[in-house]
Amino acid sequence: MVNEFRSLEASLNKVEEEIKHHEETDRFVCVMREFHTQAYSEFKRLFLLRNKMNEWYDKVVRYYGEDPTKMHPDEFFGIFKRFTSSWEVIFLIIFYYGTLQC
């Protein structure tokens, strides 16, 4: 996710750079400039979303006693996903085979 974000940012800058290398009469300039303006404003939205996401991810990971700088979302949320999946499997076993005698 981080890599993709950075890749988009870099490419956006490359476009801006590239426009400067071509003449104003070249259709490339006109089309790319329009694209860049639109993409840039959409990218800004993404930037804000990313900040919000990081803020809350940080909060919740620390709340559960882990280090957000060391734990990626797929690992962190994977813990809970695995747990609920296991739960559901066991629930079905109990449901179909009757409750456990403990």
Partner 1 sequence: MSIIREKEIKQTKAHLVILLDIFITSIARKIPFNDIVPRIKYMDAFFDDEQILNNLIRFAPTTEEVEKLKPYVGSEQRFELSIPDQFCVQLVDIKRFKERAECMLFRTTFRDRYHQLHKQMTAVFDASLSLHNAKEFTQLLHLILLLGNYLNGNTYRGGAFGIRIASINKLVDTKGAPTSAGSTFLHFLVDTVERYFPDMLNFLEELEECGEACKGMYVSDVIAIAS
**From residue 27 to residue 66, what is the string marking binding to partner 1 with x (rule CB under 8 A)?**
xx--xx--x---x--xx-xx--xx-xx--xx-xx--xxxx
Structure tokens at 40: 């840039």
Q: How far is it, in rounded angstroms, from Cα 75 to Cα 79?
A: 7
Q: Is 72 in the site for partner 1 (CB under 8 A)?
A: yes
Q: Is 83 in the site for partner 1 (CB under 8 A)?
A: yes
**Residues 17-38: b if buried by 16+ CB within 10 A, e if exposed:** eebeeeeeeeeebeebeeebee
Q: Which helix (H) or strand (E) holds 64?
A: none
In the complex, the residues that contact partner 1 under the rule CB under 8 A are: 1, 3-5, 7-8, 11-12, 14-15, 18, 21-22, 26-28, 31-32, 35, 39, 42-43, 45-46, 49-50, 52-53, 56-57, 59-60, 63-66, 72-84, 86-88, 90-91, 93-94, 99-102
